[in-house]
Amino acid sequence: MMFNGMAEIALKIYKLPVFYKQRDLLFFPTRAYAIPSWILKIPAIFVEDGVFLTYYVIGFDPEPVRLFKHFLLLILVSLMASGLFRFIAAARRTMGVANTFGMFALLSQFALSGFVLSRDDVKKWWMCGYWSSPLMYSLNSILVNEFDGKKWKQISPNGSH
C-alpha cells in the first residue's frame, strides 16, 4: 500500500514537463489533469489491494461486513499514499530530492502510525505528528474493525475476560 506510492514519484516526475507546458500555454486547468488521473488510479488500487486473498487466510473475523470494511480502509490508505507521493513529486521536481523526501515521509508515517512506536513511546514534542498521521487513523480503524467482531467477544472458562 504505502510502498506503491514510491513508484508514483518516478511516474509523476516523468510527466511533469508535459503538465507544466500545457499549464503555461493555458491549454487545460490543473484540475483537468489531476482529477482524471486520480479517478483512473482507483481500479488499479482495487486490484492491488486484493484483500480477498489474504483476509481469511490470516484468520480475521469471518463476517463479510468486516471484510468489506477492511477492504475499504485499505483502499483509502492506498489513495492517501498515492496523493502524498504525487504531492511530493510535484513539489520536489527532481528524482533525487523527491525520493529523499518520499523516504522521509514513508519513515515518519511508519514511525508515527502507532505500529513501530507506541503512542507512549512518542516524545511529547512529536505528538502533533502522531495525531496528524493518516496511517495511525487507518491502523486504529483496522484494529477496531477486527477486535469488535464476535471472535473476540468470547468469555474464557475461568470467568475472566
Amino acid code (one letter) for 155? I
* C-alpha to C-alpha distance for 150 and 144, rounded to whole angstroms: 12
Mean pLDDT of the region 53-60: 78
Asked if residue 116 is part of any domain, the answer here is: yes
pTM above 0.75, yes or no: yes
Do 10 and 86 form a contact (C-beta atoms < 8 A)? Answer: no
Asked if residue 156 is part of any domain, the answer here is: no
Asked if residue 91 is part of any domain, the answer here is: yes
> pLDDT per residue over 88-137, tens digit each?
988 888 899 999 999 999 888 888 888 888 888 888 888 888 888 888 89
Asked if residue 109 is part of any domain, the answer here is: yes
H or E element, residue 161: none
**119 is in which domain, residue-wise?**
4-150
Cα torsion at 119, 122, 126, 132 (round to 10°)?
A: -30
The three cell numbers locating residue 109: 508515517
Residue closest to 72 by CA, chosen among 152, 142, 149, 148 = 142
